[in-house]
Amino acid sequence: MSAYTVLAETGETLINVIWEAIQADLDLLALINSKNLITLDPPKDDLQNNQTPLLSVYLYRIVEDPYLKNQWCAEGAGGRIRRPPLTLDLFYLITPLLKAARDQQVVLGKIMQLLYDRPTLEGSELSGSLQSSDEGMRVVFNPVTLEEAARVWQALETSYRLSACYMVRVAIVESTIQQFQQPVLERTAGYQKVEATS
């Protein structure tokens, strides 16, 4: 189970995994030479100085996972039960912000290869409270229609840039509400014979 910091920690996890892959590739490291150049901020057009982010991993949409909505209550402390956790699917827009179109394509191609080869993130790959949970996360390529992509960029109030959309399933936020549940002490079973009428 995860704390309410799961949204931020999922983004940090993605940045850490991407930065690890960039460091291992000298060609990419020449393009993005610092982890500080990878941001969770929305993609921007301003590329005026060297400290401007060169890669955006932007969380643009959050939905409740419909397949895990009806879970059983979890065990709480002192004989109490905890409400079922909130399970979320997180949608990310990954956008290279380098000036040259070829460099943008190289960086995005590497990230897509990385997330295709490592679709499940778990254990030490996770950040913060996610590391102590038994849950893993799946990173799924989420191709969107041109119309949906246009709506995202219009909402960002910036011009379209080369990007890819990914969905991270499942981020779990545990509930803080616990209730005492009276245990069943006695069970009574019976039957009644029903006579057929003509």
Domain ranges of the chain: 6-178
- In this prediction, residue 192 has a pLDDT band, given cuts at 50, 70 and 90, of confident
For helices 101-117 and 6-23, the axis angle rounded to 10 degrees is 110
β partners of residue 171? 88
Residues 6+ apart with CB under 8 A from 139: 14, 115, 118, 119, 120, 121, 166, 167, 168
More confident residue, 178 or 29: 29
Q: Does position 171 have pLDDT exceeding 90, yes or no?
A: no
State the pLDDT at residue 136: 83
- At 36, give phi and psi (nearest 5°): -65, -15
Q: Does position 165 have pLDDT exceeding 70, yes or no?
A: yes
Three-class SS of 43-85: CCCCCCCCCCCCEEEEEEEEEECHHHCCCCCEECCCCEEECCC
The mean pLDDT of 146-162, rounded to a whole number, is 90
Asked whether the beta carbons of 59 and 96 are under 8 A apart, the reply is no
Q: Give residue 121's Cα distance to chain centre.
A: 10
More confident residue, 68 or 4: 4
Residues 6+ apart with CB under 8 A from 7: 59, 62, 88, 90, 171
Distance (Å) of CA 194 to CA 78, 85, 188, 190, 198: 45, 44, 20, 13, 13
pTM of the model: 0.79
164 conformational bin, left if phi > 0, alpha if psi -120 to 50, beta if neither: beta
Tens of pLDDT, residue by residue over 92-140, are 999 999 999 999 999 999 999 999 999 999 888 888 878 777 778 899 9
